[in-house]
Structure 1
């Protein structure tokens, strides 16, 4: 697919699109990743419906301005693209941080979102993550060895069973953004209030966890009646790379049952 750009106030945001017809899918990548992490999904679904995959500002082929990166900003940028392309209602699919952006978009702009999907996202942050893990990560990314810290963070999300090729790939990609982007993204994770966004949600959302899900079934179902929960088998955090067929089948099923569940929460 050909790279296109949307001019935002802060810089150009890269995206690609394919396919026609059907309920459009909009794919949102994770922390320090890029839209290529959804290549298997855009190829699969682009054969039968319209698909769009975004590189958030600071990532991939988008500009990397020295601005305050926050998840509501990413959601607003995605909304601008949906409106720019005249997509109407969409199903927004996000991985990791992108799943939080998908939730934020669904909660703040429900007129644009028919439903959402979150792939292994931290929706409800633990006290340990909030008070120790993320502040330590910010300190490491702010120091002279930030590339080593970025690679270590990426590698920690990969299971041995995912394979060395996946580990090398995600370590390389997630250490590629400039340091100011990495530090701002970490601040964004620290600032985002997942339970608040879940409380505002009024659109169906499917949560798909990895083998070691970043949000437990009990935590996310307690936070919102609009969420359904599923779990992939035998995959670390990077579901779209490790088990793309499972992800595609889950998305297919979600689209198929959506008309029967979207009227009311469970």
Structure 2
């Protein structure tokens, strides 16, 4: 079922199946709730919800800047509109950052957080590999508008170079459908330019720093970090995973196989199984 609800003068579409403890799955860029299509059926018990972030998927596209704060504001309004409390959060990419941000701001309403391929701390340019660094430099330059707004380049490459398992044309079409025009692709560009590198952009770096403090201090909130290998475009490198072992409270790390950054296309079964087993170990549902 994919209902829609009005929030802040626009609409949020979301998947909503099952019953019991709310488990909210948040996607990243340039995805939608479509990324969870192979994961949700395998997770098991719970009320499984997967919203399309504002401006993405089938959600509305209001005239906003699509900053991190904008996404958090619309997401907060969606949580409030549905009366979601005492939730488990699962996030990938920017969805992981939004999950951690939400948990840090509303710790009393979060039972646990599972993330993968997301931002656990601000990054530096020096940490990026040659390919990701060149891509980020291009997107932040004036050329970025042509790359992201002028074509579907960013989406196409996400599901070619960002995966190990080829995505069928039919499934790729579902990712492309929400972004048929340059204007509709503005949320993608805003996200792509929001990666916090050496403190820039400052507002995003501040958000990540803030939830980073929560990550180190929240000993009573179970956390799961999924890791992968086999791709040069992974955000959670062995170095980041090692750092998280000593820096993040109440964290379990589980290897989930070979995958690209958009790991639900490569390892949906292992991702679902890891989340389900972690939730059951900690009686989260």
* TM-score greater than 0.5 by the shorter chain: yes
1:146-189 per-position Cα deviation (integer Å, ceiling 9, x unaligned): 42244235433122xx2x23588458726853232222122333
Structure 2: gaps of 5 or more residues: none
For the 8 Å contact 1:79–1:109, the answer to whether it is kept is no
Match of 1:84 among 81, 84, 101: 81
Given the superposition, is the C-alpha separation of residues 174 and 110 from structure 1 closer, same or farther in structure 2, using an over 3 Å criterion?
farther
1:180 maps to 2:192: no
- Give, in whole Å, the separation in 1 of the partners of 2:225 and 2:258: 16
CA-CA distance at 1:111 after TM superposition? 1.9
Mapped contact 2:159–2:262 kept (Cα < 8 A) = no
Query: Which residue, out of 155, 161, 171, partners 1:156?
Result: 161
Alignment of 1:251 onto 2:275: yes
Q: Is the 8 A contact 1:151 1:175 kept in 2?
A: no
TM-aligned CA deviation for residue 18 of structure 1: 1.2
Q: Which residue of 2 aligns with 1:6?
A: 5
Spell out, residue by residue over 1:38-89, the C-alpha distance to the aligned partner (whole angstroms, 9 max, x if none): 12232234x5321111000111101122312233433343333233223320
The 8 Å contact of residues 8 and 77 in structure 2, kept in 1 or not, is answered as no
TM-score normalised over the length of structure 1: 0.82
Structure 1 stretches lacking a partner, 5+ long: 261-266
Equivalents in 1 of 2:177, 2:15: separation in Å? 23
In the alignment, is residue 210 of structure 1 matched against residue 208 of structure 2? no
User: What does residue 167 of structure 2 align with?
Assistant: 165
Paired position in structure 2 for 1:264: none
1:12-44 CA distance string (max 9 Å, x none)? 1111211112x2210111112110111223223
User: Residue in 2 aligned with 1:58?
Assistant: 55
- What SS does the aligned partner of 1:25 have? strand
| Correspondences of 1:226-265 after superposition (within 5 Å) | 226-259=250-283
TM-aligned CA deviation for residue 104 of structure 1? 0.9
Whether the aligned pair in 1 keeps the contact of 2:30 and 2:158 (CA below 8 Å) is no
C-alpha contact (below 8 Å) 1:28/1:53 kept by paired residues: yes
Partners of 2:119 and 2:170 lie apart in 1 by 23
CA RMSD of aligned residues (A): 2.8
* Mapped partners of 2:160, 2:144: distance in 1: 15
Change beyond 3 A, Cα 1:167–1:119: farther
CA contact (8 A) 1:117 1:207 kept: yes
Counterpart of 2:102 in 1: which secondary structure?
helix
- What is the CA-CA distance between 1:204 and the residue it aligns to? 2.6
Q: Compare the two structures and name the one with the higher helix fraction.
A: 1
Q: Deviations over 1:91-141 (max 9, x none)?
A: 011112111111111111112211111122133323244976434223343
Residue pair 1:150, 1:175 contacting (<8 A) in 2 also:
no
Q: Counterpart of 1:40 in 2: which secondary structure? A: coil
Matched, 1:141 2:147: no
Matched, 1:18 2:17: yes
